[in-house]
Chain A
Amino acid sequence: MTDSKYFTTTKKGEIFELKAELNSDKKEKKKEAVKKVIASMTVGKDVSALFPDVVNCMQTDNLELKKLVYLYLMNYAKSQPDMAIMAVNTFVKDCEDPNPLIRALAVRTMGCIRVDKITEYLCEPLRKCLKDEDPYVRKTAAVCVAKLHDINAQLVEDQGFLDTLKDLISDSNPMVVANAVAALSEIAESHPNSNLLDLNPQTINKLLTALNECTEWGQIFILDCLANYTPRDDRESQSICERVTPRLSHANSAVVLSAVKVLMKFMEMLPKDLDYYGTLLKKLAPPLVTLLSAEPELQYVALRNINLIVQRRPEILKHEMKVFFVKYNDPIYVKLEKLDIMIRLASQANIAQVLAELKEYATEVDVDFVRKAVRAIGRCAIKVEQSAERCVSTLLDLIQTKVNYVVQEAIVVIKDIFRKYPNKYESVIATLCENLDSLDEPEARAAMIWIVGEYAERIDNADELLESFLEGFHDESTQVQLQLLTAIVKLFLKKPTETQELVQQVLSLATQDSDNPDLRDRGYIYWRLLSTDPVAAKEVVLAEKPLISEETDLIEPTLLEELICHIGTLASVYHKPPSAFVEGSRGVQHKRLPGSAGSGESVESPDTGSAAGVSDAPPAVIPSQGDLLGDLLNLDLAPPATTTGPPPPTSSGMQMGAMDLLGGGLDSLMGDESEPLGGDLGGSPAMGAGFGAPPAAMPASFNAPVSGGLDDLFDLGGGVGMPSGAYSPPKSIWLPAMKAKGLEISGTFARRAGVVQMEMTLTNKAMSVMTDFAIQFNRNSFGLAPAGPLQVLTPVSPNQSIEVALPLNTVGPVMKMEPLNNLQVAVKNNIDVFYFSCQYPISMLFVEDGKMERQVFLATWKDIPNDNESQFQIKDCHLSSDAASSKLQGSNIFTIAKRTVDGQDMLYQSTKLTNGIWVLAELRVQAGNPNYTVSLKCRAPEVAQCVFQSYEAVLKN
């Protein structure tokens, strides 16, 4: 006698038969019939035609029958709204039943009937049930409010149910509290702006009390709710952590992970030197390890979250490498995640073990897994320098297996190893070349071609190898085509004599026969470069590439912070912010980790500052693509204004900008070549040829100052008006007459209309006329170079002084000087060559578009390690913060945000140097205190001292 009998009647008149049975007088027969109906319903058969007959059975004192009818009603009420009204009376009656079980059942079922007309009748019974004496009814009613809200949100608000629900948070029964929290959280999700769950210390305390006593599911809801709270100070934060830690030992993994979320978030507020902080760190590891012995599905979610935790706080799991070793019977999705975490935890201490494991994995059967294992070996080599050699030899072993996909994957990672450690492992190239024919995947082919091009001078038959690829050029994927083009151009530049034909062939293939715009454009760039200036082409194409960084796949820090706040959710599984994929969450608020509070260290305070600053800022964290593009344009269009000499046709300026853009974005393999490209377009290859060389060596294109019209144009483009107040120090004597056979030079630097100028007074203190002046700079830190010859048109007679302004550009050869802003100059006249050195204020190099986007500033500030921060005092400055701000603005130091805390103004400022280095600053001005504090953060900390000097100079003048 099992329920399977209900499935057996599949005759034609089934519905008819059931109808008869439902209307039978016998109770037992009725019940059997309802069961049959339910059974049909569960397998998806349509039994809605029986609606009136089933509803007729509702009036019964048999609880099971009642439940069955309720089940049926929930399923079909939507399709039969008019009929459903018939049931209302029974519901209302049941809500008054003396048995709490029936009261709860009725209110619960009513909420599930998604028919507008019924919801109106639901309000009164629901109101009663929310205040019912029995907690079982109350907790059911709490959930019912959420159901009702889903059907008719307005109704719930009008009826004041939300307030009643809030009251239930203070209920005496923990289960009621938990359900009220769950219901409020769900409602809040569709109402991002409503302040439904306004958490204050009192409610938090109630939640924490309920946390200990409610069911595991209730604990999850409460913990998730707690995670949204921001404690007032570190002490409150610690006390919450203490009360949450016992949850780490719960058998339910969802409770554990939610507790981990709360702890990870609140830990941010604890001072790191606190004993409790260390204790907490230690307590977090065991539960995370335990999650990995659960069912594979749980493991998967846990691993995705551990991936985040390891990035944020690697110290928690650094000793637990072994638990991430892959087991042969793990499902593939678990294996792949474990590999990822193994690499993140790899360090010098455990690398031998990790490599042995990875090698083991590379011989397994599952192709995806093997590929990822091979890739992991490469990532280890890049991450742990000491292991690079061992990794390379392991990869070579794997190549010897000749298993096709292993070889291909190995070649792709070896390319990355070459990029990290150039000129170290080239001996393996021969082995790689042997496997050329077996490569059939675009990524592997592209990698191999890159290697051949990069090391063309060491591969005897590089031209043959590349030629062989060229035959099927049009069948290759774009990736391979682009790479082939670049590689052949490299080859040509290295071995010009033998490969002329080849390069012409590839250029014509790329530009004439291809309809891919990227390929065509790159082809044209190369073509033009090669035809106008092969030397420049060489410097561009064969420029030194920046080393690739250790961890290319780290999650961007702001996103990581947000994801840490979402541990245990879908967002953490997808590693995307919830706003990116959750439907109907347009207004989801971005969550942030709280900053560490209470510590008076100056290193920490900007962090809190920026975290607090963000709360009122718009939620866009990552600059949208449009912004990035805008930045790129600003970045690249501005410098040409100072570099192009004669009034150029607008089109060429445009073109240059466009090329710069391309150069930056061409592809990652070429590295960031926009810098040298810009330099070379300026046409200064001969610049650094010889210090003190005759002026005739000056490139002819620099003989006119920058045209004013062009300046205006770029000013408009930059959107920055040119304030006249750029600070310029007074002239000082650079070259005394005694040292220079009667020639005295005093001078200063100024930035006028976006152009750096060297303003000099030449005084002839000798007895004879001076003519034929010329000037030359030594290499210097920022590539300063004269943008034209020294304009001294008339001979300088004895005792005469003339004023000269020499426009400078910043595309000359670069060499780091000590001090950074030192400039060595050679001046020649008809008498002799004289050398002197002078120091320029670095503020000359602050460009007009140095105003950072607020969001970018925040992100950058956090991104730059604290070690790069330096702090200075400016004494005896009596400006108000606003006056200081406008004064600094005159010198292209832009104030992005201002905050006032306890009478202290904090100005957040950014400025950009001509070579693209950003300097971020926090200027603190205390009313009535003449001493300012400047904190500077920059990726190139060397400039800090100079920048500070400029701050001081600008503010005091």
Chain B
Amino acid sequence: MIHSLFLVNASGDIFLEKHWKSVVSRSVCDYFFEAQERATEPENVPPVIPTPHHYLISVLRHRIYFVAVIQSEVPPLFVIEFLHRVVDTFQDYFGVCTEAAIKDNVVVVYELLEEMLDNGFPLATESNILKELIKPPTILRTMVNTITGSTNVGEQLPTGQLSVVPWRRTGVKYTNNEAYFDVVEEIDAIIDKSGSTITAEIQGVIDACVKLTGMPDLTLSFMNPRLLDDVSFHPCVRFKRWEAERILSFIPPDGNFRLLSYHVSSQNLVAIPVYVKHNITFREGSSQGRFDLTLGPKQTMGKAVESVLVSSQLPRGVLNANLNPSQGTYTFDPVTKLLSWDVGKINPQKLPSLKGTMSLQAGASKPDENPTINIQFKIQQMAISGLKVNRLDMYGEKYKPFKGIKYMTKAGNLCQFRLH
């Protein structure tokens, strides 16, 4: 199981260590530092590193490496998942997960780590339960504690720990009962120069914020559940019911949680809602190149495409770019050759364009690299896969809750147009 945890910052200093079994000397991290030096980019450090007596399994989140030390055969995914959980918990408790935040709250961090693992076995990792055991620091509570001398450690055994619904505490009470669901879809796509899709996939999640009194039992149904054939559920969802009726039935955890995440990849269902017309040319022997780019919306069901940001890595031979945007602003960094254009909203009547010339090194031959264009955007009130919630019902409690559902589509990490 997990022996120890080291937190390493970007400059390669260990700023926190925690051991759940016997103490492992921090010199074990030297192997990690070696790998870090070899890696060209911080994110290229391999996640599993063998050393003579231990294995180091690490994740990089928020520019901090979380390095777990294990000694025996342990499922690496188990370790990685746990590390991600640690990060999420820190973020949940402190708002951000940075070195400063962790140092500011080092005692809470220590208490949390102790509570999350026992001898390397996960103990309590549900945010609901942890918060009952160890109260998150707030300015008010810190002040109250200082005055009254009380602590931020719960005195009672968390009720959820052993109940049939370990994710929910008992005795929840709200004056306003509300349940909100956000359907957020991120689309990743690679489009080739002719405009046809090479890959496209949608990664969707339904995040919920449920503040309901008592033990409510919710059901959520969809207009088109057939879209969801590749799903991962929160443990609260009754899987049998989903298998049989395609209805999500669950007793929700209290507060914020991710109800499900899903993945849509079949080509015909995924259409990227933006198109790009481009003409980027370099002529042999000329020190000028032409740049011409126009964006337009596609199949957006009338919803506006907003917060559009275009970025492109121009060839190394480009010295400068003299462009004229029809809207928004652009910047070109002559050192990194990164062109970025903050477009804003796309108006279908007047399509945004960016035109002009690029100057090349005099006498240099035509650059052979081919630029690609990455696009970011957001569309409110629409799930690009077409997923729609049909209805939400509550059983088990008498009151009438306030319900709300929001949709949003945005570009994922990778929305790439190849220009060659």
Binding site for B on A (CB under 8 A): 1-4, 6-7, 27-28, 31, 35, 38-39, 42-44, 62-65, 67-68, 71, 75, 78, 99-101, 108, 111-112, 114, 134-136, 140, 143-144, 146-147, 150, 173, 175, 179, 182-183, 186, 189, 213, 215-217, 220, 224, 246, 249-254, 256-258, 286-287, 289-290, 293, 295-298, 300-302, 322-323, 325, 327-329, 331-333, 357, 360, 363, 366, 401, 568-571, 573-574, 578, 581-585
**Given A220-B75, A581-B50: A4 and B58 interface contact (C-beta under 8 Å):** no
**Given A38-B110, A101-B157: A298 and B16 interface contact (C-beta under 8 Å):** no
What are the 9 tightest A-B residue pairs by CB atom distance, in nearest-first order? A64-B151, A286-B230, A2-B104, A254-B77, A64-B153, A297-B47, A217-B122, A254-B78, A246-B239
Inter-subunit contact A215/B122 (CB<8 Å): yes
List 14 contacting pairs A-B, 8 Å CB cutoff, sorted by A: A2-B137, A27-B149, A28-B149, A42-B17, A65-B151, A68-B111, A143-B118, A146-B121, A216-B81, A216-B235, A295-B84, A322-B198, A327-B413, A331-B44
CB of B188 within 8 Å of the partner chain: yes
Chain A nearest CB, measured from B312 CB (Å) = 12
Interface of A is mostly: helix
When distances are taken between beta carbons in the complex, the residues of chain A under 8 Å from B201 are 293, 323
**Given A290-B263, A333-B47: A3 and B73 interface contact (C-beta under 8 Å):** no
Binding site for A on B (CB under 8 A): 1, 14-23, 26, 39-41, 43-44, 46-48, 50, 53, 55, 57-60, 71-78, 80-82, 84, 100, 103-111, 114, 118-119, 121-123, 125-126, 137, 142-143, 146, 149, 151-157, 161-162, 164, 166, 188, 190, 198-199, 201, 203, 229-235, 239-240, 243, 258, 260-261, 263, 265, 368-370, 372, 413-414, 416, 418
User: Within the complex, which residue of B40, B71, B203 is in contact with A583, where a contact is CB–CB below 8 Å?
Assistant: B71
**Given A296-B43, A325-B198: A257 and B77 interface contact (C-beta under 8 Å):** yes
Inter-subunit contact A136/B161 (CB<8 Å): yes
**Given A28-B149, A571-B73: A135 and B106 interface contact (C-beta under 8 Å):** no
When distances are taken between beta carbons in the complex, the residues of chain B under 8 Å from A3 are 103-108
Question: How far, in angstroms, from A220 to B76 measured CA to CA in the complex?
Answer: 12
Question: How far, in angstroms, from A24 to B225 measured CA to CA in the complex?
Answer: 65
User: Within the complex, which residue of A136, A246, A573 is in contact with B157, where a contact is CB–CB below 8 Å?
Assistant: A136
When distances are taken between beta carbons in the complex, the residues of chain A under 8 Å from B152 are 64
Inter-subunit contact B121/A329 (CB<8 Å): no
Chain A nearest CB, measured from B287 CB (Å) = 23
When distances are taken between beta carbons in the complex, the residues of chain A under 8 Å from B80 are 253-254, 295, 297-298, 301
**Given A28-B149, A220-B78, A301-B47: A251 and B232 interface contact (C-beta under 8 Å):** yes
Inter-subunit contact B263/A286 (CB<8 Å): yes
Question: How far, in angstroms, from A763 to B108 measured CA to CA in the complex?
Answer: 107
Inter-subunit contact B156/A101 (CB<8 Å): yes
User: Within the complex, which residue of B73, B100, B153, B414 is in contact with A327, where a contact is CB–CB below 8 Å?
Assistant: B414
When distances are taken between beta carbons in the complex, the residues of chain A under 8 Å from B142 are 1
Chain B nearest CB, measured from A73 CB (Å) = 12
Inter-subunit contact B48/A300 (CB<8 Å): yes
Among B105, B188, B263, B414: residue with most chain A CB under 10 A: B263
Question: How far, in angstroms, from A266 to B198 measured CA to CA in the complex?
Answer: 36
List the B residue with the shortest CB-CB distance to A178.
B121
Inter-subunit contact B263/A293 (CB<8 Å): yes
Inter-subunit contact A44/B75 (CB<8 Å): no
Inter-subunit contact B48/A573 (CB<8 Å): yes
Question: How far, in angstroms, from A360 to B231 measured CA to CA in the complex?
Answer: 32
Chain A nearest CB, measured from B385 CB (Å) = 14
Inter-subunit contact A215/B75 (CB<8 Å): no
Chain A nearest CB, measured from B32 CB (Å) = 14
When distances are taken between beta carbons in the complex, the residues of chain A under 8 Å from B414 are 327-329
When distances are taken between beta carbons in the complex, the residues of chain A under 8 Å from B413 are 327, 329
When distances are taken between beta carbons in the complex, the residues of chain A under 8 Å from B46 are 300, 333
When distances are taken between beta carbons in the complex, the residues of chain B under 8 Å from A179 are 121
Chain B nearest CB, measured from A117 CB (Å) = 16
Inter-subunit contact A327/B77 (CB<8 Å): no
Inter-subunit contact B143/A1 (CB<8 Å): yes
Question: How far, in angstroms, from A213 to B122 measured CA to CA in the complex?
Answer: 16
Question: How far, in angstroms, from A67 to B121 measured CA to CA in the complex?
Answer: 18
Q: Known contacts A257-B77, A298-B80, A331-B44; can you find 17 more A-B pairs with CB under 8 A?
A: A39-B106, A42-B106, A43-B16, A146-B119, A146-B121, A147-B119, A183-B121, A246-B243, A249-B231, A253-B80, A254-B80, A286-B229, A286-B230, A301-B48, A322-B198, A323-B201, A331-B43
Question: How far, in angstroms, from A140 to B369 measured CA to CA in the complex?
Answer: 60
List the B residue with the shortest CB-CB distance to A7.
B103
List the B residue with the shortest CB-CB distance to A567.
B75
List the A residue with the shortest CB-CB distance to B103.
A4
Among A64, A68, A111, A323: residue with most chain B CB under 10 A: A64
User: Within the complex, which residue of A290, A584, A585 is in contact with B232, where a contact is CB–CB below 8 Å?
Assistant: A290
Question: How far, in angstroms, from A173 to B163 measured CA to CA in the complex?
Answer: 9
**Given A136-B157, A297-B47, A329-B413: A250 and B111 interface contact (C-beta under 8 Å):** no
**Given A1-B143, A217-B78, A570-B74: A35 and B107 interface contact (C-beta under 8 Å):** yes
Inter-subunit contact A44/B48 (CB<8 Å): no
List the A residue with the shortest CB-CB distance to B188.
A327
